[in-house]
């Protein structure tokens, strides 16, 4: 077997000044790409999510909630009180030997700590400094505060989703934090490539709001030209019909079906035509016909799906070459082959055998990083100072004494 190749960001040092989700998640993506992450956190100011969800409540390993334990894996932690001169001084020394800094505070917070880009770039001009506030550090809304749901609403996503007459429709996870974190990781990698050519780092003033808006850039383009809001299509498509979610037997059970061409339609008719004779009507034979009579087809299909388990709908249709998929939930997603492929084993996070989500892509010849449980706050302070700053133990002891004072 050939020697394993390094992951692409091997050797890149990242300081994670992030809190809650978007910033630490961005750093996790960089860790999965091979970078080394040190989380700078302050015991007096813990990043917490509200208590709505079980995964957001306490009682996890490493003193973090289950969600934050997942988000903050694969990094070391140093506890620095950034409100003290000594804490800030150590932070600046770490910055001087780092390649990347990630922070998602409100605009102005890092500047007030003396840790803004302008300050830090003086001594480390190669630093790639990524800020990821809700709206960006400039513009009329730079001081606005925004949670994930606010950004889902503001970025157009909730109106782009659903059917005419629906209220705004959101998604019940931290969607916008993830989208902001992913975009920022892409920008950081781009800036590292640019640095290799120019020798200089830069400040990436990411706006999580803009990341959300960019996801529907095509709809913005269309609206800018037409001066009308885009149609709300629900789950339908203009290039596949019928397409939708069909109610199945049981409580809140659904199967997604998408017929992408006439051949697949014939497959569907072959699969179900015996039980649903109306599907044989010639006016349904073409995409144009199926788009026109979509409601009628849906009604006919649902008379059949309502009496079946979703797995049976999926089985019957996929057998005939039609795309169909059971709506999965937390308790059965791991039955999906691709879900199993993104899950990675981890030790020290919850019950033995717990798995975490890794990268949804793979580099040929390079093994994925081993998933390592999130650190306790400050768990690696001394180790980081030794490794990154080459300090000896007496100096470290003195620093900690002063920093704590």
Partner 1 sequence: MARILDLASEVGAYGTRILAELGHEVVRVEPPQGDALRRLHPHLAPAPDLESSAFHQFLNAGKRSFASDIGTTEGHRQFLALVAKSDALVASLPLPLDEAELIAANPNLVFVRIDDGPGELCAYARSGLLAITGEPDGKPVLLGGHIPYAAVGVYVAMATAAALFGKQTTGVGQIVDVSAQQCLAALGEQVWIEYNASGELLERLGSRGGITALAGALPCADGHWMVSVPPSPQGWANFVELVPDPVFKDDSSMADEALRRERKNEILDRVALWSESRNKHEIVEEAQRRHIPAAPVLSPLDLTQDAQLLSRGFLREVDHPDFGRINFPVGALANLMGTAVPFAPRLGQDNAAILKELGELP
Interface positions, 49-88, toward partner 1 (CB under 8 A):
49-57, 60, 66-67, 70
Burial track 362-386 (b if 16+ CB lie within 10 A, e otherwise): eeeeeeebebbbbbebbbbbbebbe
Instruction: With CB under 8 A as the rule, give the number of residues binding partner 1.
Output: 147
Q: Which one of the spans 85-93, 186-194, 384-392, 393-401 is the region binding partner 1 (CB under 8 A)?
A: 186-194
CA-based nearest residue to 315, from 262, 271, 279: 271
| Torsion angle (degrees, nearest 10) of CA 364, 34, 339, 267 | -40
Q: What is the DSSP letter of 5?
A: P
Which one, 186 or 389, has the nearer CB to partner 1? 186
- Binding-site member from 33, 110, 268, 301 for partner 1 (CB under 8 A): 33
- Binding-site member from 13, 39, 154, 380 for partner 1 (CB under 8 A): 154
Q: Which one of the spans 95-103, 218-226, 372-380, 397-405 is the region binding partner 1 (CB under 8 A)?
A: 218-226
Q: Does residue 279 interact with partner 1 by CB under 8 A? A: no
Of 367-386, binders to partner 1 (CB under 8 A) are none
Q: Does residue 354 interact with partner 1 by CB under 8 A? A: yes
Which strand (E) or helix (H) includes residue 339?
Answer: helix 337-342
Three-class HEC string of 204-265: EEEEHHHHHHHCCHHHHHHHHHHCCCCCCCCCCCCCCCCEEEEECCCCCCEEEEECCCHHHH
Tokens of 358: 């890794």
Q: What is the DSSP letter of 277?
A: G
Which strand (E) or helix (H) includes residue 180?
Answer: helix 175-198
Which one, 11 or 274, has the nearer CB to partner 1? 11
Angle at 316 between CA 310 and CA 321, to 5 degrees: 120
- Tokens 């300081």 belong to 15
- Binding-site member from 127, 179, 373, 396 for partner 1 (CB under 8 A): 179
Q: Does residue 308 interact with partner 1 by CB under 8 A? A: no
CA-based nearest residue to 31, from 11, 48, 2, 45: 11
Of 311-350, binders to partner 1 (CB under 8 A) are 323-331, 333-334, 336, 338-339, 341-343, 350
Q: Does residue 223 interact with partner 1 by CB under 8 A? A: yes
Of 80-139, binders to partner 1 (CB under 8 A) are 135-136, 138-139
Q: Does residue 294 interact with partner 1 by CB under 8 A? A: no
Q: Does residue 291 interact with partner 1 by CB under 8 A? A: no
CA-based nearest residue to 39, from 23, 56, 51, 58: 23
Report the nearest approach of partner 1 to the CB of residue 398 (Å): 37
| Cα torsion 98, 104, 105, 107: sign | positive
Q: Does residue 297 interact with partner 1 by CB under 8 A? A: no
- Binding-site member from 38, 206, 346, 369 for partner 1 (CB under 8 A): 206
- Tokens 């100096």 belong to 395
Which one, 231 or 307, has the nearer CB to partner 1? 231
Q: Does residue 5 interact with partner 1 by CB under 8 A? A: yes
Q: Does residue 24 interact with partner 1 by CB under 8 A? A: no
Q: Does residue 36 interact with partner 1 by CB under 8 A? A: no
Q: Which one of the spans 95-103, 111-119, 172-180, 367-375 is the region binding partner 1 (CB under 8 A)?
A: 172-180
Report the nearest approach of partner 1 to the CB of residue 131 (Å): 10
CA-based nearest residue to 152, from 133, 130, 180: 180
CA-based nearest residue to 75, from 136, 151, 17, 5: 17
Of 229-258, binders to partner 1 (CB under 8 A) are 229-235, 237-240, 243-245, 247, 254-256, 258
Q: Does residue 309 interact with partner 1 by CB under 8 A? A: no
Give the integer Cα–Cα distance in Å for 338 and 344: 12
Report the nearest approach of partner 1 to the CB of residue 115 (Å): 19
- Binding-site member from 4, 122, 197, 390 for partner 1 (CB under 8 A): 197
Report the nearest approach of partner 1 to the CB of residue 80 (Å): 25
């Amino acid at each position: 077997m050939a020697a394993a190749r390094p992951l692409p960001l091997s050797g890149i040092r990242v300081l994670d000044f992030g809190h809650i989700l978007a910033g630490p998640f961005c750093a996790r993506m960089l860790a999965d790409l091979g970078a080394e992450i040190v989380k700078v956190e302050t015991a007096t100011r813990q990043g917490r999510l509200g208590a709505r969800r079980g995964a957001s409540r306490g009682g996890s390993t490493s003193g973090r909630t289950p969600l934050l334990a997942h988000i903050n894996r694969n990094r070391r932690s140093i506890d620095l009180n950034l409100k003290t001169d000594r804490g800030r001084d150590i932070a600046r020394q770490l910055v001087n030997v780092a390649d990347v800094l990630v922070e998602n505070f409100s605009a102005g917070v890092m500047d007030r700590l003396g840790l803004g880009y302008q300050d830090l770039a003086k001594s480390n001009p190669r630093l790639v400094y990524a800020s990821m506030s809700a709206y960006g550090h400039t513009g009329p809304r730079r001081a606005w505060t925004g949670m994930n749901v606010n950004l889902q609403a503001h970025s157009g996503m909730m109106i782009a989703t659903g059917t005419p007459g629906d209220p705004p429709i959101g998604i019940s996870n931290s969607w916008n934090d993830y989208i902001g974190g992913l975009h920022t990781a892409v920008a950081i990698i781009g800036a590292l490539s640019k640095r290799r050519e120019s020798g200089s780092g830069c400040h990436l003033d990411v706006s999580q709001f803009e990341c959300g808006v960019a996801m529907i850039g095509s709809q913005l383009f269309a609206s800018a030209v037409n001066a009308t809001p885009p149609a709300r299509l629900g789950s339908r498509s203009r290039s596949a019909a019928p397409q939708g979610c069909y109610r199945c037997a049981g409580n809140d059970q659904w199967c997604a079906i998408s017929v992408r061409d006439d051949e697949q339609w014939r497959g569907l008719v072959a699969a179900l035509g015996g039980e649903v004779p109306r599907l044989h009507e010639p006016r349904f034979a073409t995409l144009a016909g199926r788009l026109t009579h979509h409601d009628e087809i849906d009604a006919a299909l649902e008379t059949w799906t309502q009496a079946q388990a979703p797995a049976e709908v999926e089985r019957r249709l996929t057998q005939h070459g039609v795309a169909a998929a059971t709506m999965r939930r937390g308790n059965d997603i791991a039955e999906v082959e691709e879900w199993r492929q993104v899950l990675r084993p981890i030790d020290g996070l919850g019950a033995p055998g717990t798995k975490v989500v890794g990268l949804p892509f793979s580099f040929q010849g390079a093994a994925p990083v081993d998933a390592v449980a999130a650190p306790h706050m400050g768990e690696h302070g001394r180790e980081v100072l030794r490794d990154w700053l080459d300090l000896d133990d007496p100096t470290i002891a003195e620093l900690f004494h002063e920093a704590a004072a």
